[in-house]
Structure 1
Amino acid sequence: MFTNDLAARRGFLTRSSRLTLSAAAVGLLAGTRAAQAQASMSTEADVGILNVALGLEHEAINAYQLGAGSGRLQKPVLEVAVAFQSHHKAHRDALIATIRTLGGQPVAEKPLDEYAKALNAATLKSQADVLMLAAKLELGATNAYLGVIPSFKDNKLGQVAARLAADETMHWTALSQALGKMLPAGALSFGA
């Protein structure tokens, strides 16, 4: 009888272990699938944010193109505008590469005339008008990049956004100085 009890207990433990292991495997698989689904949603959210940023970069590139092609910028200012445009092209390229790495589809650039219409380029009558538009766009981009940092699921993307915001802030500062505008008097002026 003792032998039968021992055999029954071993059989019960073996079956219980298999059931427990099977339940654990199912739980792990379900958890893995849930984690994968959540990671996929997080990646999609990050790609969405990056595509908005890419749209801003497309706009900036085209705004500088409109300014450079307007004939309103004097030589030293034109050189700075072209340099800033090259920064935005580098931003664009980095964003496109990141979006593709994450499996996303980068938002396409629009034709120049669509940007001209949206930016009301026909009203740019002087160098100051062009610089004011550029400064406005740079400030908007600075605040947008700073504003999205907490939204990224991947912290490394937040760091990239901070670096882009630093470039935009530098652009805004240079343009503001060229326009003779005072820098912000208070601290924590950006991203609010």
Structure 2
Amino acid sequence: MTSIITPSTTVAPATRRSFIARSGSLSAVAVAMLAGQDALAQGMAADTSKDVSILNVALGLEHEAINAYQLGAGSGLLQKPVLDVAVAFQGHHKAHRDALIATIQKLGGTPVMEKKMDEYAAALNASTLKNQADVLALAARLELGATNAYLGVIPAFGNKDLAKVAARLAADETMHYTVLTQALGRPLPAGALSFGA
């Protein structure tokens, strides 16, 4: 588990999957805004302070993912083709971050700030990364957590459009996890329905 700074600035253990279990689900308003569907969000009622708190936890975790990929990229441990993929995945997480920041601001909240790189390095045990496989294993673990977290919110939505947003985020994370798993030479999951359980 890693530590994040929650909106109250206390340090608490968190994983991408557990943030949803502890925080509840996002309102339809927040997900509509996250999807860039401001028109859909108009007229919906919701407790935006709860949404801002949940989105800030997700934002903290996206900050962590961006910095994890930066640690990997800057480690000198990644071969050129793997480095290119890591940078691409980092770009996806930056897009997730930007969407979360925009949504938090539209809801009237203040986005949680990114921590310093050395804080992420300590939380992720970067000093234990000795080779490319170590870097890929760390990234795969974070991506699997992200997949399960985003899948965890889908059942909360009655609106298909809102569920689609969470599914698209989960699809990005699943793609990342699958590519990293294959790069590590690990087998694909043996059974069906192995994500989100």
TM range (shorter): 0.7 to 0.9
Unaligned runs of 5+ in 2: 1-43
Q: TM-score, normalised by structure 2?
A: 0.73
Which amino acid in the other structure matches residue 187 of structure 2? M
The runs of at least 4 consecutive aligned structure 1 residues that moved more than 6 Å come to 152-155
Which residue is equivalent to 1:52? 57
Counterpart-to-counterpart distance in 2, 1:121 and 1:152 = 37
RMSD, matched Cα: 1.9
Shift of 1:44: 2.3
Unaligned runs of 5+ in 1: 1-37
Aligned match for 1:73, one of 67, 71, 78:
78
Counterpart-to-counterpart distance in 2, 1:100 and 1:75 = 37
Is 2:172 the partner of 1:167? Answer: yes
Larger relative contact order (CA 8 Å, sep ≥ 6):
2
Deviations 1:130-163 (A, max 9, x none): 0000000000111111113345698755432221
Which residue is equivalent to 1:63? 68
Higher mean alpha-carbon deviation, 143-152 vs 163-172, is at: 143-152
Residue 183 of structure 1 aligns to a residue in which SS? Answer: coil
1:46–1:80 CA distance, 2 compared to 1 (3 A):
same
Which amino acid in the other structure matches residue 191 of structure 1? G
Greater fraction strand: 2
Greater fraction helix: 1
Aligned match for 2:148, one of 143, 146, 150:
143
Which residue is equivalent to 1:39? 45
Residue 68 of structure 1 aligns to a residue in which SS? Answer: helix
Q: TM-score, normalised by structure 1?
A: 0.74
1:93–1:145 CA distance, 2 compared to 1 (3 A):
same
Rg comparison, structure with higher value: 1
The number of residues matched between the two structures is: 154
Is 2:185 the partner of 1:180? Answer: yes
1:153–1:59 CA distance, 2 compared to 1 (3 A):
farther
